[in-house]
Amino acid sequence: MIELLRNIAAFVVLLGILITAHEFGHFYIARRCGVKVLRFSVGFGKALWRRVGKDGTEYVIGMIPLGGYVQMLDERVDEVPEDQLDQAFNRKSVWQRIAVVAAGPIANFIFAGIALYFMYLLGLPAVKPVLQSVLPNSPAAVLNVSQPQQIIAVSGQRVRNWEEVNLALVSHIGDASLSLTLAPVSQLSTPDDADAVQGKTYQLDISRWTFDPDKQSPITTLGLEPYRPDMVPELAVINKDSAAAAAGLQVGDVIQRVAGESFTDWKTFVEQVKASPNQAIALTVLRNGHAVDLTVTPSARESDNGTLEGFIGVAPKLPEWPEDMKVDLQYGPVNAVAMAADKTWQLAVVSVKMIGKLFTGDVSVKSLSGPISIAQGAGSSADIGLVYFLGFLALISVNLGIINLLPLPVLDGGHLLYYFVEVITRKPVSERIQEIGFRFGAALLIVIMSISLFNDFARL
């Protein structure tokens, strides 16, 4: 319950910030173009707070935080007094109307850049994208990883941590190939060292590469094995009502023997548990300095390939990462501007590519996310820390800007489409055509939102 409330609170804060930024873009440019703004509303429904400013605009916070709007003086909506006709939106030139409508999505991009600027200014703790090995018979099998290698570029795009690698890989779904540039870890002590190191570039055939984004990682499905420090055999988590709890395992137990053999490493232990659904495994653990013999019977569940695998519901104590494997992406006031602008551009490019791949079928509609997934992401990122919440805020802001530019008549992009037709034909699109377009756009938007909500509930 507490987690649900935290997610809802983070979602409301996130959405409120993004809606305010978007609508302020419309509001600011409308005022600059001489358009009278009647109402600036964040949220819909009953007003929780309202105030009329000295400029005559009514500022409102609505009860339902799922959108917002800027109501402008317009002869097509209400009767306009003779002395205010020059302030009506519909009386402005087509280029002024284009500027007012485009200002909303543009404000989202600018806001994303500001959020990322402060993220880089504060510093983003991360892990270097270092490879420990690659899986045989995988697209990544062509890589030479005889010693730890750091990924410094994906298809020519610089990457500094695993999050950037993940984002770059996702953009290649459905492509025939991609390239990875690697360099020995010993040559890279800071994130900027990669600019001076040429590295070696490999071409990967990904024509048959597929993965389920809800269950699988693009990194592991490609065959990349990230470096991880050796897990210690001390148990840090015992899930309630799990096989481990039933067997009497406790937090702090140190595994010494498994099925009569000395414990080797955590990965081998996990594989042994997975291979033993509903089969008893003898364990010897060290508890308070004394050896304790236990028997655990792994529960069974269906794996990704449809077979049964065992699990006992435990997690080990996380080891400390070596300092040379960590990186703090922190920049000064000037360099942070360039980094934020570059990151905003990368997010926009990936978003456009993913939307295009939805229409081509390279990306399944199952990957669409709705408000529930966004709320979970907002809550999780806020729980981790401010810099991570800023990064998530920027990601959603860019996506909001891109989606609003889609040429659907109910969105800003649809209005822009009509105005650009007006620029070409030198006459406005007829009210009848606009009405048909709005109905079609609304129906399509409802379908997309329904699919997103269905996906959200399916992930719960």
Domain boundaries, the chain: 1-22+93-123+333-460, 34-91, 126-229+320-329, 235-318
What phi and psi values does residue 294 have, to the nearest 5 degrees? -135, 165
What are the residue numbers of the active site?
23
Q: For domain 126-229+320-329, give the fold.
A: Pdz3 Domain (2.30.42)
Residue written as token pair 């000395």: 262
In the chain (460 residues long), the average pLDDT of successive 10-residue segments reads 69 85 94 93 88 90 85 87 89 94 96 95 89 90 87 90 88 88 75 65 89 76 87 86 91 90 86 91 91 92 80 87 84 94 91 81 62 54 74 90 88 92 90 83 76 61
Q: What pLDDT does 32 receive? A: 94
pTM for this prediction? 0.80
Q: What pLDDT does 181 receive? A: 92
Measured CA to CA, the distance from residue 41 to residue 81 in angstroms comes to 23
Q: What pLDDT does 457 receive? A: 59
Q: What pLDDT does 367 receive? A: 60
288 in the Ramachandran plot: left (φ > 0), alpha (ψ -120 to 50) or beta? left
Q: Is 208 exposed, middle or buried (0-12, 13-18, 19+ CB in 10 A)?
A: exposed
Domains 126-229+320-329 and 235-318 share a fold: yes
Q: What pLDDT does 189 receive? A: 59
Helix (H) or strand (E) holding 8: helix 2-32
Q: Collapsing DSSP states into helix, strand and coil, what is residue 458?
A: helix
Measured CA to CA, the distance from residue 4 to residue 241 in angstroms comes to 22
Q: Is 110 exposed, middle or buried (0-12, 13-18, 19+ CB in 10 A)?
A: middle
Q: Which CATH class is domain 235-318?
A: mainly beta
Measured CA to CA, the distance from residue 119 to residue 379 in angstroms comes to 17
